[in-house]
Chains A and B, each alone.
Chain A
Amino acid sequence: MTRIIVTTSGKGGVGKTTTTANLGMALARLGRKVALVDADFGLRNLDLLLGLENRIVYTALEVLAGECRLEQALVKDKREPGLVLLPAAQNRNKEAVSPDQIQELVSALTDLYDYIVIDCPAGIEMGFKNAIAGAKEALIVTTPEIAAVRDADRVVGLLEAQGIKNIHLIVNRLRPTMVQVNDMMSVQDVQEILAIPLIGVVPEDERVIVSTNRGEPLVLAESPSLAGKAFDNIARRLEGQTVEFIDLYPTPDNFLSRLRKLLSSII
Chain B
Amino acid sequence: MNSDFILPDTVSPIALPANEVNSNSQVRFKSEEGRLMLILPAEAAPPSTSSWSDIWQQLKQRLNGGDRFWQPNTTVDLIASDRLLDGRQLQAIADALAEVQLLLKRVSTSRRQTAVAAATAGYSVEQTYVAPNQTLTSSSVPLAEPLYLQMTVRSGIEIRHSGTVIVLGDLNPGGIVVANGDILIWGRLRGVAHAGADGNSKCLIMALHMEPTQLRIADYVARAPTTQLTQVYPEIAHVTPEGIRISIAADFSKSQFLSQP
Contacts and interface: CB of A to CB of B under 8 A. Distances in A.
Interface of A: 146, 150-151, 153-154, 156-158, 160-163, 165, 192-193, 195
Contact of A157 (B56, B156, B173, B190): B156
B49 to A, nearest CB: 17
Contacts of B174: 150, 153-154
B57 interface: yes
Contacts of B56: 161
A195 B170 contact: yes
A22 to B, nearest CB: 27
Contacts of B57: 158, 161
A195 B61 contact: no
Nearest to B63: A163
B170 A157 contact: no
B60 A193 contact: no
B172 A160 contact: no
Given A161-B56, A161-B61, A150 B173 contact: yes
Given A193-B172, A193-B190, A195-B170, A154 B156 contact: yes
The secondary structure that dominates the A interface is helix
Contact of B154 (A157, A163, A165): A157
Contacts of B61: 160-161
A193 B189 CA distance: 11
A160 B64 contact: yes
Contacts of B157: 157
A156 B157 CA distance: 11
Nearest to B170: A195
Contacts of A192: 188
Contacts of A160: 60-61, 64
Q: Is the interface of B mostly helix, strand, loop or mixed?
A: loop
B89 interface: no
Nearest to B154: A157
A163 B63 CA distance: 10
A157 B155 contact: yes
Contact of A154 (B64, B155, B169, B170): B155
A163 B56 CA distance: 11
A154 B60 contact: no
A203 B12 CA distance: 46
B2 interface: no
A151 B155 contact: yes
B17 to A, nearest CB: 21
Interface in B121-180: 152, 154-157, 169-170, 172-174
Contacts of B173: 146, 150, 153, 193
B81 to A, nearest CB: 22
Nearest to A151: B155
18 contacts: A146-B173, A150-B174, A153-B154, A153-B172, A153-B173, A153-B174, A154-B154, A154-B155, A154-B174, A157-B152, A157-B156, A158-B156, A160-B61, A161-B56, A161-B57, A163-B60, A193-B173, A193-B190
Contacts of A163: 60, 99
A161 B60 contact: yes
A109 B60 CA distance: 28
B190 to A, nearest CB: 7
Closest 3 CB pairs between A and B?
A: A157-B154, A154-B156, A161-B57
Contact of A150 (B60, B155, B188): B155
Contacts of B156: 153-154, 157-158
Nearest to A160: B64
A156 B64 CA distance: 13
B180 to A, nearest CB: 24
A19 B156 CA distance: 25
B191 to A, nearest CB: 10
Contacts of A162: 60
A195 to B, nearest CB: 5
A163 B95 CA distance: 12
Contacts of A156: 154
Interface string B45-72: 0000000000011001100100000000
Contacts of A165: 64
A208 to B, nearest CB: 27
A232 B170 CA distance: 33
Given A160-B64, A161-B61, A163-B60, A195 B155 contact: no
A160 B65 CA distance: 11
A153 B155 contact: yes
B53 to A, nearest CB: 9
A223 B170 CA distance: 43
Interface in B5-59: 56-57
Given A157-B154, A195-B170, 8 more contacts: A150-B155, A153-B154, A156-B154, A157-B156, A160-B60, A162-B60, A195-B152, A195-B169
